[in-house]
Structure formats: C-alpha cells, structure tokens
Amino acid sequence: MSEIREPTQEDMQTVLDRQKQSYIAEGYVSAENRIDRIDRAINILEKNGEKLSEAMAADFGHRSLDQSQRTDIEGSVGPLKHAKKHLRQWMKPERRKVMFPLGLFGAKGRIEYQPLGVVGCISPWNFPVNLTFSPLGGIFAAGNRTMIKPSEFTAQTSKLMKELFAEAYDEDEVAVFTGGPDVGGAFSRLPFDHLLFTGATSIAKHVMRAAAENLVPVTLELGGKSPVVIGRSADMKLAASNIMAGKTMNAGQICLAPDYVFLPEESRDEFVDSARDSVASMYPNLKDNPDYTSIVNERHFDRLNGYLDDAKAKGADLVEINPANEDFSQQEHHRIPPTIILDPTEDMQVMQDEIFGPILPVKQYKDLDEPLDYINSHDRPLGLYYFGQDKSEENKVLNHTTSGGVTVNDVVMHVAQEDLPFGGVGPSGMGSYHGIDGFKNFSHAKAIYTQSKTVSKMAAAMMRPPYKKAS
C-alpha cells in the first residue's frame, strides 16, 4: 500500500491562488452567499455530529461522546447560527463624524467592512472540531474564503473533516490540508490575507515569524497559566465544584482550564474536601467511566506524570482524587486521576509550564496583594477567575491584573458568550474573535470620506497655493 503524499507548499499555493482569483471574480460578497456558506457548515455538524464525536474518541483513545456533542458539535453550531442571525446588521456601513465644520457643509464619513479575501486557519487537537468550525462564523460572515490546517494529533478527526468539507464546498471556497509539522510550517508561510492560529505559545512564535515574511496579519489564540483567586467571601463548595468541573472537562486539556488556585490559608482543607466531593459526584469512578476523557497521547501522558514526579520529589503534598480507589498502573487508555498539588514551589515544573491536564496546584495567601503580585510577575494569561461576593475585592482583582478575559464565580464560561470577544493578551495571544468582534477581526474597515461641493470650493479658496496673494 503506497503512502499518501503530504501536500507541498506549491500544492497549497496553487489552491490559495485559485481562492484569491475566485474571491476577486465574485466581487461584492452578498449576505445570501455568506449565509449559504454558514448554512453548509451548520449542516455538516448537524448531520455528522455522531461520526465526528466517534472520530474524536478514537483519536484520544477515549473521549466522552456526550462532552464532544456539547463542546465541539453544539458548541460550534451556536456561534455559526449567531453569525448567521446578525451578519446583515454587521455588514451595514457605520457612520462616522467628520472634522468640524466640514459636516455642516455636507461632507460625510463612513466605514464599510470589506472581506479580507482568504483566511488561513490552523486549528489544534484539544477541541479539533470546535476550534475549526466556530471561527468560520466570523470568517464567513465577513465574506471570506478559507484554507484549514487541522492538527496531526487528531488524525482521524482531521481526515473526516477534510472529507466532509470537500463534499460541502468547492475547493475555491474551503480547502483542508492534513499532515504533520512540515505541512504546518509550509502552510504558515503562505501569503494569506489573514492567518488564525490556535495552539501553543511556543509554536505561535514560529507561525508568526513565518507569516511575517509575507506581512500576513495574525490572530493568535494561545494559552498560558490561567489563575484562580478565591476570596474570603466566596462560597467554597461552589468554588471548588466549578473549578473541578473546569479542570476535569476534557481531562483539563483546555487552553482556558484553571491552571492554579490561590485561596485564603485558612480555607485549604475545606477546598480540598469540597474538591474531592465534587469530583466524586461527577465521576464515581474514573478508569472506565465514559464521561472521563483520556490524555490525548503517550507523549502528553508522560509529560503530566513527569510534573507529578517532579513535584513529589521536591517535597509537595499530592492529593490524588480517585473516588473508587482504582489502579491506574495498568489501563487501556492514558487516564490520569485529578490531582491537587498543595503549596507548590516555583522550582517545580508544574508552576513553570501550562499544565493542560487534570493537575491543580493550590497556593495559599494571607493578604490579597500576594496573589495579585504573583499574577503580575508572570506572563499575562488567557483567562482569570475570581470567586467571591465582595464587590470591592472583585474590582481590585480586575483592576490590578491583565488577562485575555475573566469569568467571575465560575471558570471558562466567558468563552461561550458570543457577544464577548475571545482572545489573549501578550504571550496568551493577540487579536480576538466571536460575534461582531470576529466579524470585524476578519474584515477590513475601509474608511470612506465623501466630499461636498461646498467644502471643495472652500478648500480651493482657503487652503491651496498660492498662499500669499499678490497685493
């Protein structure tokens, strides 16, 4: 059996040229055409949700089918339908004021949002369907075409998406290229009109460097160590429950997963007990539980176990939450029980790297300034979470930290709000999308000034040479 040839940069450039030509030939992209492209994406998901969920489960070794339906299928249909509902309004020209007194004499200003052309989209493995399909709401609403490079880590899902897109779209509208790092590198070097990358900060540096060769603007959706600050006014049981729900969803393989927790020193035991109860209520057992997702591959499984070994060797107290006391030394899949690391030190790997797994370091504080100082001394995260009922304390946390987004009294949930922009800041990303912010991100805001005859005559009389009239 012959190996399938991976696409070369020349192959992909040929498709990009064709997409750009088709975009130009289409001219003005009507609302009807934009809606049609969105509808076809929705149709793929609604008709093939089960197939896609099964493919994701196969790629992970095990991934909850119910979770995949909620996060990747329904979680993609929602943004697409939101864009479909609002795009006609988004497309309307936006009136702007002109410099005084020009407006008094009939001059006008407006912005028209114009498609960029072709948007490249590099999607990750952790939510391979959602993070491929949900950006299409903004991309299609803005009138663009797209080329997609999904992750090689979820090869079966990527292969299926490629087939489904090919059935629903001409290649000059949507094209999918599968393959390993070489394909991804070549894809990053293409002269797109815009490039969206979702993934690790370390890879983003290479993507941005490659895109810079053609001055391609980029949107980078990255990650980082998203902190949780629990105030003294917080409902500790509720906080622990919401935090552990976010930490165990997809086995913690979420860019917005709570990465570490700061809590009042007197609340440590209460939090640990509440966390145990919360996990047990969601997952009475773990090893064969269909709702509990595996670590995606052996490499990441070994990496996470390395964090635990390193923390233990350096003196940390580890609290493994294993409700049924199961033996994980022999297992079919790469599953790791949720584990709390108490009072981690800075020299531990788990405090240096984004965890991306069901491991939760917990640090204590006496005064609120301690967690704020700690957060501000590290890279700005993608998400930040505050639990508490003290409004002045909440304001202090929000006003004295910078993060991509915030959820108060829960975790992760701000990403599900289509009327809120989703994006990072600094090492956690640049640019944002979702809703109207996605539409604008994938559009060119064209400034248009319309001169009036009156202003033209005034300009001719007052502002043009010769400036000194002959006496």
Catalytically annotated residues: 221, 255
Pairing of strands 317-320, 260-264: unpaired
Signed CA dihedral, 226, 231, 236, 239: sign only = negative
Among residues 177, 191, 193, which one has the least CA distance to residue 123? 177
DSSP state of 267: G
Enumerate residues 6+ apart whose C-beta is below 8 A from 327: 287
Distances (CA, A) of 70 to 53, 136, 234: 10, 18, 29
Among residues 382, 314, 300, which one has the least CA distance to residue 346? 314
Specify burial of residue 213 (Cβ count, 10 A radius: 0-12, 13-18, 19+): exposed
Rounded Cα–Cα distance for residues 76 and 81 (Å): 9
Rounded Cα–Cα distance for residues 91 and 114 (Å): 8
DSSP state of 70: I
DSSP state of 259: -
Signed CA dihedral, 326, 327, 328, 330: sign only = negative
Distances (CA, A) of 115 to 141, 148, 283, 470: 9, 18, 46, 51
Contact call for residues 97 and 447 (beta carbons, < 8 A): no
Reduce the DSSP state of residue 453 to 3 states and report it: helix
Contact call for residues 187 and 12 (beta carbons, < 8 A): yes
Rounded Cα–Cα distance for residues 325 and 229 (Å): 30
Rounded Cα–Cα distance for residues 65 and 56 (Å): 8
Contact call for residues 433 and 442 (beta carbons, < 8 A): yes
Dihedrals φ, ψ of 279, to 5°? -65, -45
Rounded Cα–Cα distance for residues 194 and 209 (Å): 14
CA 41, 295, 162: angle at the middle one, nearest 5? 25
